Amino acid sequence: MAKQKAAAINLAFNHGWTYAPAPESTDHIEIKSQYDLFINGKFVAPTQGQYMDSINPANEKKLSSVAIAQTADVDKAVKAAQQASTGWQKLKPSERGKYLFRIARMLQERGRELAIIESLDGGKPIRESRDVDIPLAAAHFFYYAGWADKLAYAFPGRDAQPLGVAGQIIPWNFPLLMAAWKIAPALACGNTVVLKPAETTSLTALKLAEIIQACELPPGVVNIITGAGSTGQALVNHAGINKVAFTGSTQVGKAIQKALAGTGKKYTLELGGKAANIVFEDAAIDQAVEGIINGIFFNQGHVCCAGSRLLVQEGIKDVLLKKLKLRMDTLIVGDPLDKNTDIGAINSKEQFGKIKNYLRIGINEGGNMHQSNCTIPNKGYFIKPTIFTDVAQSSRIVQEEIFGPVLSIQTFRTPEEAIEKANNTPYGLSGGVWTDKGAKVFKVTGKLKAGVIWANTYNKFDPTSPFGGYKESGMGREGGLHGLHAYVKL
């Protein structure tokens, strides 16, 4: 970071400003030393009295202790959700909508606090939690609040009935946002829920529990239980749930699918990805460079739809690579709470180890690794923005989801070759196409086997648009009108 700081100081000097890092203050941000389980509208201690640490990945210090729910706690939560179900279903749909609007507004009111806690607990830059995660979480509640009393219009001529209790398991890359993606449509359709956040990022879900309590949602309609994989497993296997909604690794997604086979429980799975971001010779190159940067370095690359494979047309490879490297050198890696930070901390020690291992794999496979010239803090889990050239389609770093700030770069000559390479993956979640020709956008995107494809932009999200994948990226859609389907029987 020394070089960037020097550049910033020079800039400041030339303009007569003084340079100062701009860390967000944590004054008035309350993180309790210990959090219990949110069951039936109350925070209750876990039956076996076990807690796990939640760590700040930017400094490896403990932030709080979070309860571990065992099978007996999962059972309590599911029973609370079952008991709350009848009353919640009987409530006038417009009244259900009002609760969702209330939650949405309180998420906005407490936006600063939530953004800071999200960045402390998960390592993402405050600019992203403040401008993306928290506003989008509120937007999801607003959006589905609107549907609550309009289901007859969503399913014309059909009778849309709630499923009952939804068991929801979410990952650590967008903690509060994923909670919103799961809870809002479920409640709008008249279901009750038991949600389990990821073990490294439980805190904003527990803040959401406080918000839900403050909004006086009837007890048991939303239950939030913390714990790791075995808690998730107990939830999936509980006979009292009617639906599982899971976002996470393909490996766990497959295990859940097996566990649910023959049970009659409905499920949606949003799993991994290895998206191709395709840049044609006729693309606006500077915009494409911004899109590549955003595609792979947004949220440290912990994004299931990240543009982690760059496919660039041969004629512009050299100029594009030169521009990309220059742009990478301007990225500031460091304190997630600093408003200037572009890339924060890797979410956990495990993920840090996994990414470092992939860097070794890439080098051993003969890839040519380049990292930006930034410096990184010596405490905490940080990885410099990384690109690999000279990789083969069969390279593991081209085929496997790394879930970090690591981009593999390949070239192509014709659109057909680009499409073939893009589709040559077990995943099918997302993709990007950069070209000046509208016709080419339609021709290429029509042939990409992926659920979400952006043209001349990347990583844009909106509650009105459906999201989900093909193949090993999962099944079912979340968001938009499609997102309602997952929570009703017709």
Which residues are annotated as catalytic?
270, 304
- Sign of the C-alpha dihedral computed for residues 73, 189, 464 and 116 taken in this order: negative
Segment contacting ligand NAI by CB under 6 A, of 17-25, 105-113, 165-173, 358-366: 165-173
Residue the block writes with tokens 């009292």? 240
Positions 233 through 292 that interact with ligand NAI (CB under 6 A): 233, 236, 247-249, 252, 255-256, 271-272
Question: Quick one: which of 38, 403, 454, 487 contacts ligand NAI (CB under 6 A)?
Answer: 403
Smaller CB distance to ligand NAI: residue 100 or 383? 383
SS3 content of the chain, % helix, strand, coil (to 5): 45, 20, 40
Smaller CB distance to ligand NAI: residue 305 or 310? 305
State the nearest-atom distance from the C-beta of 160 to ligand NAI, in Å.
Answer: 28
d(CA 162, CA 215): 22
d(CA 104, CA 106): 6
Q: What angle do CA 73, 78, 82 make, to 5 degrees?
A: 145
Positions 224 through 253 that interact with Mg ion (CB under 5 A): none
Smaller CB distance to ligand NAI: residue 97 or 463? 463
State the nearest-atom distance from the C-beta of 304 to ligand NAI, in Å.
Answer: 3
For residue 169, count CB atoms less than 10 angstroms from its CB and return exposed for 0-12, middle for 13-18, buried for 19 or more.
Answer: buried
- Residue 114 near residue 205, CB atoms below 8 Å: no
Q: What does the block give as tokens for 242?
A: 């009617």
State the nearest-atom distance from the C-beta of 57 to Mg ion, in Å.
Answer: 6
Smaller CB distance to ligand NAI: residue 69 or 188? 69
Smaller CB distance to ligand NAI: residue 219 or 229? 229
d(CA 137, CA 114): 11
Q: What angle do CA 40, 237, 265 make, to 5 degrees?
A: 90
Number of helical (H) and strand (E) elements in the chain, helices listed first: 18, 22
Q: Give how far the C-alpha of residue 477 lies from the chain's centroid of Cα atoms, to the nearest Å.
A: 15
For residue 325, count CB atoms less than 10 angstroms from its CB and return exposed for 0-12, middle for 13-18, buried for 19 or more.
Answer: middle
Residue the block writes with tokens 């010596």? 378
Smaller CB distance to ligand NAI: residue 225 or 288? 225
DSSP conformational letter for 359: H
Give the per-residue SS3 of 278-326: EECCCCCHHHHHHHHHHHHHHHHHCCCCCCCEEEEEHHHHHHHHHHHHH
Q: Is 300 in the site for Mg ion (CB under 5 A)?
A: no
Segment contacting ligand NAI by CB under 6 A, of 116-124, 226-234, 410-418, 453-461: 226-234
E-strand ranges in 103-142 read none
Question: Quick one: which of 74, 198, 359, 448 contacts ligand NAI (CB under 6 A)?
Answer: 198
Q: Is 168 in the site for Mg ion (CB under 5 A)?
A: no
Question: Quick one: which of 118, 121, 335, 401 contacts Mg ion (CB under 5 A)?
Answer: 121
Q: Which does 455 bind (CB under 5 to 8 A by kind): Mg ion, ligand NAI, none?
A: none
Q: Give how far the C-alpha of residue 165 lies from the chain's centroid of Cα atoms, to the nearest Å.
A: 23
d(CA 63, CA 289): 37
Question: Quick one: which of 4, 54, 64, 277 contacts Mg ion (CB under 5 A)?
Answer: 54
Smaller CB distance to Mg ion: residue 54 or 70? 54
Q: What angle do CA 118, 122, 126 make, to 5 degrees?
A: 50
State the nearest-atom distance from the C-beta of 18 to ligand NAI, in Å.
Answer: 41
Question: Quick one: which of 229, 240, 415, 466 contacts ligand NAI (CB under 6 A)?
Answer: 229
Q: Which does 41 bind (CB under 5 to 8 A by kind): ligand NAI, Mg ion, none?
A: none
Residue length of the chain: 490
Per-residue interface string for the shown chain with Mg ion, residues 179-218, x marking contact by CB under 5 A? ---------------------x------------------
Q: Is 118 in the site for Mg ion (CB under 5 A)?
A: no
d(CA 102, CA 416): 50
Helical H segments across 148-260, by residue range: 151-154, 175-188, 203-214, 229-237, 250-260
- Residue 264 near residue 428, CB atoms below 8 Å: no
Q: Which does 257 bind (CB under 5 to 8 A by kind): ligand NAI, Mg ion, none?
A: none
Q: Which does 169 bind (CB under 5 to 8 A by kind): Mg ion, ligand NAI, none?
A: ligand NAI
Q: Which does 233 bind (CB under 5 to 8 A by kind): Mg ion, ligand NAI, none?
A: ligand NAI
Smaller CB distance to ligand NAI: residue 36 or 472? 472
Smaller CB distance to Mg ion: residue 318 or 350? 350
Q: Is 199 in the site for ligand NAI (CB under 6 A)?
A: yes
Q: What does the block give as tokens for 464?
A: 């009105």
Q: Which residue number is nearest to Mg ion in terms of Cβ?
A: 121
**Binding stretches for ligand NAI (CB under 6 A):** 169-171, 173, 196, 198-199, 228-229, 232-233, 236, 247-249, 252, 255-256, 271-272, 304, 351, 354, 401, 403
